[in-house]
Structure 1
Amino acid sequence: MNATVDNALSLWGLTDAGYNLVAARENAVYKVETPTDVFALRLHRQEYRTNVELDSELHWMKAISDGGLSVPSPIPSKTGDVMHMVDGVQVDVLDWLSGDTLDAVLIKSDAKTRVALFQTLGQDMARLHDICDTWQRPLGFSRCAWDIDSLLGDAPLWDRFWDNPGLTAKDRYLFHTFRHKTRTDLADSAKNLDYGLIHADLVAANVMVDGTGLHFIDFDDGGYGYRVFELATALLKHIDAPDYGDLKQALICGYTSTRPIDLATLDLFMALRATTYVGWNITRMGEDGGGARNTRFINTATKLAADYIG
């Protein structure tokens, strides 16, 4: 992989830069350092996004940055392009945003700081949606959609959660019942819901804390979706925290201080978000910790689905 990185850096005029791998999850991310600058070079997982989708993501991120929100902004190569194919891999370079991930900061923060962070998260989330609504998308812009079919259709974006091999017969029946009911409920309420471009993965690992400010990173799964889904995503992984009620209230207060939102369907989207992880983990069962993660995802999703069905 080093040869691919070297070949990519030459396209950006960074041949003499030092680099090291800092993340190898969905994409491989390298920290690239010169005597004066620091960048993030991304090698994208193959066949996840088309070139058009990735180019759209990069222009979208630049628009968000230009709108005043702190997100990585693409760095054009020597040819002026923001993305290249290198050895069959999609590659781009972003400016580097420093800080610690929100999940790491929350662990060592007191109750007051945790609440303040979630209030800021809500405010910045609303600002993101405001920027996206006023941005004039370029011709050919293409991103995925977190709509009814992508959440509950026969081929969801993150796989068929009701087919997860870790489910019991009871779990499968519950998920089929939940899927039927929520598809009807969402179809009935969708026309009244705020829908537009969303990050779609604002979990604490994708939010960086730098002093009192926040950076949003990893727009890999960003696209069109319900804005309440964005809130549900940010909340879900904290649902078992002792101060979850305070964090939830802070997030909502932060968001609504900047932008209105109808929260009548929040419980529905909390359950929907939980089921997406059950689908997402199907192809990751063999990873270290994949089995335990699967059990955790199923337990959360079945509880929220059962609560929603009542």
Structure 2
Amino acid sequence: MRRPDAVLYQDAFLDRLSSGLESLLSEWGLGPGTEVELLTVSENATFIARDPARANPVILRVHRPDYHTVSEIESELAWISALRLSGAVETPALVPLVSGGHLASFEDGEDTRHVVGFEFMEGHEPDADAGLVPGFRLLGAISARLHGQVESWTPPAGFARKTWDFASAFGPEPLWGDWRAALGLTAEGKALLEQVCTKLERRLAAYGKGADRFGLVHADLRLANLLAREDGLGVIDFDDCGFSWFIYDFAAAISFHELNPIVPELQAAWLEGYRSVRPLGAEHEAMIPDFVMFRRLLLTAWIASHSETETAAEAGHAAYTDGTLEIARAYLEAAE
């Protein structure tokens, strides 16, 4: 579980990361005139490095401590490389170190910060409006190609990524914190979400983890991790990739927009795109509400344990919990 450490998002912390990065720039062959600018910070901190001597900038991702091991980070990079080789998805290439390999690091107090470099990819985050429907058709096809690549790919020895299932999300040591700490959650709301957990656990156990439904997934295909371009749709940030149900990728795609009236259209478009690449039976489609609920409850826990972040503020803090309860009521009322 992530350390409760609100100071991670203060200016002094970000200045420290910038300084650490500047000490590593030569590892990627970036010159002394390189300018480093923060792009985003949520769990990891992502910077853009512009070297006047290079045609394109380099994206540098500084990993948070106490989350992924070196083996897990290297496994993510191995999958990205395999995906690019297969042509399954448009995603930025890794920028190797001058000395070889892809992982650099610097010391930050008692922590070691691991850093990975990626090529810059043009594009912008899609807007959450009706114009998103064609994009979700593309995203469905991309998701299907990702899942197809997984079924035919043999990971390298030592491949390790986290598992996103009921136990890891809502068990005794949840990866993103305990939803029971959700902001503004009342006793009545807690009782409602306990019922949700009971139903979720039962339905996920019945659905099972067969090879036709469970495997390596991106696990965070939300709008912030998509790059809309004239020639298609790019996918970035495989940091949360891991083993879960394939349909979970759709639930992640509508993160923070579950109550948007266009979601049924987005779902229909995603399914159409998916089925244009590989089959998806009614049994799997019927589980979509379960995975939407699963993801929403998981994000409710994340926001509670990351209340100091910009993402939590944009979600509305306690208002996000209220939305979760609205979704939960509909989920419990739905016929099985």
Q: TM-score, normalised by structure 1?
A: 0.91
Distance 1:296 1:125, change over 3 A: farther
- Count residues with an aligned counterpart: 304
* SS of residue in 2 equivalent to 1:122: helix
In 1, the alpha carbon distance for the partners of 2:278 and 2:225 equals 22
Q: Which moved more, 1:197-206 or 1:294-303?
A: 294-303
**What is the letter of the counterpart of residue 252 of structure 2?**
T
1:93 aligns to 2:111 (yes or no): no
In 1, the alpha carbon distance for the partners of 2:20 and 2:269 equals 44
In 1, the alpha carbon distance for the partners of 2:209 and 2:197 equals 19
1:176 aligns to 2:194 (yes or no): yes
Q: 292, 296, 300: which one pairs with 1:270? A: 292
Q: CA deviation at 1:89?
A: 1.1
* SS of residue in 1 equivalent to 2:46: strand
What whole-Å deviation, never above 9, does each CA across 1:51-93 have from its counterpart, x for those lacking one?
A: 1111111111111111111112222212211102222210111
**What is the letter of the counterpart of residue 299 of structure 1?**
D
**What is the letter of the counterpart of residue 49 of structure 2?**
V
Answer yes or no: is the 8 Å Cα contact 2:47–2:59 preserved in 1.
Answer: yes
Q: CA deviation at 1:14?
A: 1.2
Residue 208 of structure 2 corresponds to which residue in structure 1?
190
Q: 55, 67, 78: which one pairs with 2:98? A: 78
**What is the letter of the counterpart of residue 75 of structure 1?**
V
Residue 46 of structure 2 corresponds to which residue in structure 1?
29
In 2, the alpha carbon distance for the partners of 1:134 and 1:291 equals 39
What whole-Å deviation, never above 9, does each CA across 1:27-52 have from its counterpart, x for those lacking one?
A: 22222233323211111112221111
Q: CA deviation at 1:120?
A: 0.6
Answer yes or no: is the 8 Å Cα contact 1:195–1:226 preserved in 2.
Answer: yes
**What is the letter of the counterpart of residue 43 of structure 2?**
E
What whole-Å deviation, never above 9, does each CA across 1:106-127 have from its counterpart, x for those lacking one?
A: 45xxx4x422111111111111
Is there any run of 5+ residues in structure 2 with no aligned partner, and where? 1-15
Residue 330 of structure 2 corresponds to which residue in structure 1?
307
Residue 121 of structure 1 corresponds to which residue in structure 2?
139
Answer yes or no: is the 8 Å Cα contact 1:278–1:298 preserved in 2.
Answer: yes
Q: CA deviation at 1:218?
A: 1.0
* SS of residue in 2 equivalent to 1:101: coil
In 1, the alpha carbon distance for the partners of 2:233 and 2:309 equals 30
Distance 1:209 1:93, change over 3 A: same
Q: CA deviation at 1:266?
A: 0.9
What whole-Å deviation, never above 9, does each CA across 1:219-272 have from its counterpart, x for those lacking one?
A: 111100001111111134333333332222111111111122321111111111
Answer yes or no: is the 8 Å Cα contact 2:183–2:321 preserved in 1.
Answer: no
In 2, the alpha carbon distance for the partners of 1:301 and 1:271 equals 8
In 2, the alpha carbon distance for the partners of 1:240 and 1:188 equals 27
Distance 1:218 1:135, change over 3 A: same
1:254 aligns to 2:273 (yes or no): yes
**What is the letter of the counterpart of residue 285 of structure 2?**
L
Q: CA deviation at 1:287?
A: 4.3
Residue 9 of structure 1 corresponds to which residue in structure 2?
25
Correspondence list, 1:217-236, <5 A: 217-236=236-255
Answer yes or no: is the 8 Å Cα contact 2:59–2:118 preserved in 1.
Answer: yes
Correspondence list, 1:139-218, <5 A: 139-191=157-209, 194-218=213-237
In 1, the alpha carbon distance for the partners of 2:134 and 2:225 equals 18
Answer yes or no: is the 8 Å Cα contact 1:152–1:183 preserved in 2.
Answer: no
Residue 50 of structure 1 corresponds to which residue in structure 2?
69
Q: CA deviation at 1:292?
A: 6.3
Q: Which moved more, 1:44-53 or 1:9-18?
A: 9-18
Q: CA deviation at 1:165?
A: 4.7
In 2, the alpha carbon distance for the partners of 1:15 and 1:292 equals 39
What whole-Å deviation, never above 9, does each CA across 1:265-299 have from its counterpart, x for those lacking one?
A: 11111111110111101222244664962323212
Distance 1:291 1:118, change over 3 A: closer
RMSD in angstroms over aligned alpha carbons?
Answer: 2.0
Is there any run of 5+ residues in structure 1 with no aligned partner, and where? none
1:134 aligns to 2:146 (yes or no): no
Answer yes or no: is the 8 Å Cα contact 1:274–1:297 preserved in 2.
Answer: no
In 1, the alpha carbon distance for the partners of 2:240 and 2:151 equals 18
What whole-Å deviation, never above 9, does each CA across 1:166-191 have from its counterpart, x for those lacking one?
A: 21111111111221222122111114
1:102 aligns to 2:126 (yes or no): yes
